[in-house]
Amino acid sequence: MNKKIFVATINWIKTNEPGKIIVPLNNPTYSPQISVEGEYVVDGSSWSVFCYNFEMIGSNRTKSLIKYLNQNSAPDNLKIGSSFSLYEMGKVVASGKIIDISKIDF
């Protein structure tokens, strides 16, 4: 079980179009799959997170809140300092690092 909400910095990967980065900013229902410390499958399943990108802190970098979609069954593998990657349709779209535990829910 992992009911924590984490603050993360996320670096978004550029698409094939030169200079174009699509960042789902201010969308609390954005829910990509996640791999933590290189592990995509945990306990036989892949996992998704809600990822609320609330602040641009660079041209392709956000400050974000993340939490597991199914918090009751989620693995307890996120902690401050954890590195992760986000996926859409099997492709990596971003990488990030947990920097804090949030006191704010979304």
Query: Domain with 74 in it: what CATH number?
Result: 2.40.30.10
pTM: 0.89
Looking at the domain assignment, is residue 92 inside a domain?
A: yes
pLDDT tens figures, 14-68: 666 555 567 889 998 999 999 999 887 777 778 999 999 999 999 889 999 999 9
Looking at the domain assignment, is residue 11 inside a domain?
A: yes
Q: What span, in angstroms and rounded, lies between the C-alpha atoms of 22 and 15?
A: 8
According to DSSP, residue 2 is labeled: -
70, 16 Cβ separation under 8 angstroms: no
Please name which of 27, 10, 14, 28 lies closest in space to residue 86, comparing C-alpha atoms.
10
According to the model, what pLDDT value does residue 46 have?
A: 86
Q: What span, in angstroms and rounded, lies between the C-alpha atoms of 60 and 90?
A: 20
Looking at the domain assignment, is residue 106 inside a domain?
A: no
Q: Domains in the chain: how many in total?
A: 1
Q: The domain containing residue 97 runs over which residues? A: 6-101
Looking at the domain assignment, is residue 1 inside a domain?
A: no
Query: For the chain, what is the mean pLDDT?
Result: 89
Looking at the domain assignment, is residue 76 inside a domain?
A: yes
According to the model, what pLDDT value does residue 52 have?
A: 96
Looking at the domain assignment, is residue 28 inside a domain?
A: yes
